[in-house]
Structures are given as C-alpha cells and as structure tokens.
C-alpha cells in the first residue's frame, strides 16, 4: 500500500558511505510512501560552504567550533524538491563543488558542528508529519537511534567510484575512488559520531543491484516494518 496518509508514521534511517545510492534511494522511497525526506549530508555541506565563504580556517577545529552556531540552515523535506538554504540563500548548487567536498569531512569531525547539526536533524524528524526518510552516515547510530527501520547501504569501492564519477560528469574514476576511500577513512575514524553500521541495521549491498532494485528492496522493508506495528 503506497498511500502514506493512511499508514502509521514511520522513521527510516538510511546510512552508508558515498556512492552507495543513498540519496536516490531515500528520495524515491520517501516519494513512493508519502514520507518526508532529509539529506543530512547536505546540511554538513551547507555549514562547510558557510565556513569557506566566511573565511573560517577549516583546518582549525577551534575556529570552526567557535563559528558553528552562526549560520542559519534550513532544509526543505519535500522528496520531490529537497531544498537547502543558508541564511536565506539557496546553496543547493554551491555545496556540491569539489572545494566543499574536499573540506566537509574536516568540518564534520568537529564535535560542536555535529552537536549543532544533530539537534537540527532530530528537530526536523520529530516534526515530520506522517514520517520521514533520513539519510546520512550516523543516523541509525547517533541521530535517530530509535528509528523504526535502519538500513545500511554498502557497495564496492569500484562501483561507488563509477557511480560518483558519472554524477560528476567525466571525473577520473581512479581519482574518484581514491577520494572516496580517503573520505571513508576520515568519516569512519572521527571520534564524534563516526560512519558506522548500527547493530540493528539491515545491510544492503548495492554493488550488483540497479537503483530500482535497491528502491524496491527498501520499500519492502518499510512495508514489512509497518505491517509488524
């Protein structure tokens, strides 16, 4: 049953590293099931973009921590049009630049940043009428440990690099793979809320699956969870 209005609210946490299909899967699942959608990675990119734009040295954790509370970050939760604004400015495009991508792990590792963004994420999830799909790297472990369903997407580094280089229009696959592995290490090794699979998460390896297959798999998991309530 795909009409979310008649269904009990459900909170779905989808975690995993870059290039596993998190965003595409999460948006599609939310749209199909009538749920809200939150891209938490965009929030970390947004605060990173703000830091860079305002001359904050992102290599200085103390400087980043001191500025963490300054930008106003607003996330739209419509899966058909997930917006992201910083201080009233649409930053959906600017936050996807290579400059921001190369610096987001450093900014995200600062505890004050994670505390600020985690509080924002929890507030959005709590206010999502009908339920929400929240995607990121620490949703099931830290942000929403009581989520109704936790899914952890994985894929081989080669598959992820091929997907990501395709998204980046002509990027070198080997360079992209190296960058992904470097970011995995940074995200998994940070002391505060590292990238990790929750103990009660269902792992889905997307290496050999089409996007549609992954979407159908997650929708089935959500419907099974709803039926069990």
Encode burial over 195-229: b for 16+ CB neighbours within 10 A, e otherwise: bbbbeebbebebeebeeeebbbbbbebbeebbeee
By CB neighbour count within 10 A (0-12 exposed, 13-18 middle, 19+ buried), where does 161 fall?
A: buried
Categorize the per-residue pLDDT at 1 as very low, low, confident or very high, splitting at 50, 70 and 90. Answer: very low
Name the residue among 81, 103, 79, 99 with its Cα closest to residue 90: 81
Residue 163: is its pLDDT beyond 70? yes
SS3 state of residue 37? strand
Residue 85: is its pLDDT beyond 70? yes
4-219 has CATH 3.40.50.300 classification = yes
Global pTM reads: 0.86
Which has the higher per-residue pLDDT, 30 or 98?
30
Q: Where are the domains of the chain?
A: 4-219
Categorize the per-residue pLDDT at 170 as very low, low, confident or very high, splitting at 50, 70 and 90. Answer: low
């Amino acid at each position: 049953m795909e009409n979310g209005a008649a269904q009990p609210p459900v909170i779905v946490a989808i975690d995993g590293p870059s290039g596993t299909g998190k965003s595409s899967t999460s948006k599609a699942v939310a749209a199909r099931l009538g749920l809200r959608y939150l891209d938490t990675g965009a929030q970390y990119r947004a605060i990173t973009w703000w830091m860079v734009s305002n001359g904050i040295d992102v290599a200085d954790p103390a400087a980043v921590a001191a500025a963490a509370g300054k930008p106003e970050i607003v996330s739209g939760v419509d899966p058909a049009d997930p917006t992201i604004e910083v201080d009233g400015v649409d930053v959906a495009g600017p936050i996807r630049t290579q400059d921001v991508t190369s610096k987001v792990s450093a900014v995200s590792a600062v505890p004050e940043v994670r505390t600020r963004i985690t509080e924002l994420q929890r507030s959005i999830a709590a206010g999502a009428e009908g339920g929400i799909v929240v995607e990121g790297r620490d949703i099931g472990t830290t942000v929403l440990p009581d989520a109704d369903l936790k899914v952890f997407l994985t894929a081989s580094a080669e598959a992820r690099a091929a997907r990501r280089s395709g998204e980046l229009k002509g990027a070198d696959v080997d360079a992209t793979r190296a960058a992904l592995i470097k970011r995995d290490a940074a995200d998994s090794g940070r002391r505060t809320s590292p990238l990790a699979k929750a103990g009660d998460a269902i792992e889905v390896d997307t290496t050999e699956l089409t996007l549609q297959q992954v979407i159908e798999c997650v929708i089935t998991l959500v419907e099974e969870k709803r039926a069990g309530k």
